[in-house]
Amino acid sequence: MAQDTTDVAYGGPGAVRRNALLFFLDGVTFQPSVALLSMTAVIPLLLEHLRASTTQFAIATSVVSLGTFVSQPYFVSLCSRSRRMARTFAVVLLVQRGLFLAFVLAMPLLADHAGLMTWLFLASWTVFNVLAGSGTLFNVPLVLKLLPPTRRAGLRGVGVAVGSVIALGAAALIPVVIERVAYPWSYMVLFGVGLAFLFANAAGFWFMREHDDPEPRVPMRVTEYLRDVPRTLSRDATFRAMVTSCVFLVVANSLLPFYTLHAIRTFGASEEHVALLASLAIVTGVAVNLGFGFVIDRRGAVALSPVAAAAATAAGVVGLVSGSLGGLTVAWVLANVGATCYLKTTMLMLGDVSPSGRAPSYVGTLFAISMLVSSVAVLALAPLLDALGFTALFVLAGGCGAAGWYVNVRVFQPRLAASRAERLRP
């Protein structure tokens, strides 16, 4: 009965069940695409086949963050003005995936021109990631709007776990397809399957049942959002501390593709081992989502958020002291634990920090700043790798993890506790 009463505030029990199922399917359909369309598996193999430089690899990695940063102001404005966020989000996702599909279909025409293929891929990948900037900006407010607090992590975590099992099969196909299917058709198959999952994923948001906001969101124009970012940071010390901690962790997480590059260039990792790394990342995601999701529902995201920083720090240390492919693989697993824990906790922590009706602005501010800093760090890492080797990678990853832990535990959490106590005072 109590649960039904709570559900009324989120559109009623029927709407909550429908939306919970669709968020579950969001994880089921999105995870397989990660194995086939990410900077940690298929794309590094494609770029190595095309003999891309370290700088080009860094560009491909940095636009994942930079593209998101560039589009943040527009998507914050769009999200704040959309009466039906889910359908608006679905349209953006369909456009994003359709444009990248155009590049995939053009690959046979570019097969004999490696340099041109590389630059056109980078252009298409940039557009893909610019539109991907809508992801968190719409996803977080939708979760907060459509699901009650007790249903925001558990079932969605199971969906991610189920999708990850499917993704294991997709990852296992990577070396098989590359070995048995001629270039460029092999990469067309892998990208095409990934896009099929992504189109199904976009459709799920179209069918969500969305109610009117109990408190109207604050509509913002792009210029208003840009002016609001420094104001939000200056007047909210708790949020400012959260942003600082998250910036360090996003930098550490954005370095993951370089672990794969290290495996290929330093240890001569084969397609099979790259697929193994992808599989380990998926298994790690399953373990974290199953073990973490329901615990977060009970203990809260804030209390468990330091785990992400601890794992990122450990990954940097292990990568620094080990000199083997096995040691790098352990560091890879730890880094993925940190990245998954970060994504799992940060989205929900924003619900504890952002005032009612201002979630899009807070989400946009957090991710815009963290993505900008991480993209600059990735671009700066390329010449350091050429000059100093991959030691620079692990020093940066471990240092950022340690700094993120310190700010979270010693600054952010005490400020949040004080803020909560202040609100409870009569």
38 closest CA partner among 95, 100, 120: 100
Q: Which two tokens stand for residue 246?
A: 């998250």
**Long-range contacts, stretch 420-426, CB < 8 angstroms, 24+ apart:** none
The answer to whether 149 and 301 are in contact (CB under 8 A) is no
Axis-axis angle for helices 306-321, 391-407 (nearest 10): 160
From residue 12, how far is each of 6, 7, 407, 419 by CA, in Å?
8, 5, 39, 31
The domain 7-216+225-424 is placed in CATH, from the list 1.20.1250.20, 2.60.40.10, 1.10.3210.10, 1.10.10.10, at 1.20.1250.20
* DSSP class per residue in 370-401: HHHHHHHHHHHHHHHHHHH-THHHHHHHHHHH
Query: Residue 231 in contact with residue 56, Cβ under 8 Å?
Result: no
Task: Report pLDDT for 102.
Answer: 97
Model pLDDT, residue 219: 63
Q: Please count the other Cβ atoms lying within 10 Å of the Cβ belonging to residue 24.
A: 19
Structure tokens at 229: 């970012």
pLDDT attached to residue 118 = 97
Give the number of other CB atoms < 10 A from CB of residue 168: 20
The pLDDT assigned to 367 comes to 78
Separation of alpha carbons 396 and 401, rounded Å:
9
pTM confidence score = 0.81
Could you report how far apart the first and last alpha carbons of the chain are, in Å?
A: 30
Residue 243 token pair: 């942003």
Please list the rounded mean pLDDT of every run of 10 residues in the chain (426 residues). Answer: 56 81 90 88 94 93 85 80 87 96 96 95 96 81 80 74 88 93 96 97 91 61 72 86 94 93 93 93 83 75 89 97 94 95 84 74 80 86 85 94 96 87 68
CA-nearest of 50, 36, 54, 34 to 183 is: 50
Give the 3-state secondary structure of 113-171.
Answer: CHHHHHHHHHHHHHHHHHHHCHHHHHHHHHHHHHCCHHHCCHHHHHHHHHHHHHHHHHH
pLDDT at 1: 47
Please report the pLDDT score of residue 184 as a whole number: 95
Contact criterion met (CB below 8 Å) for 202 and 94: yes
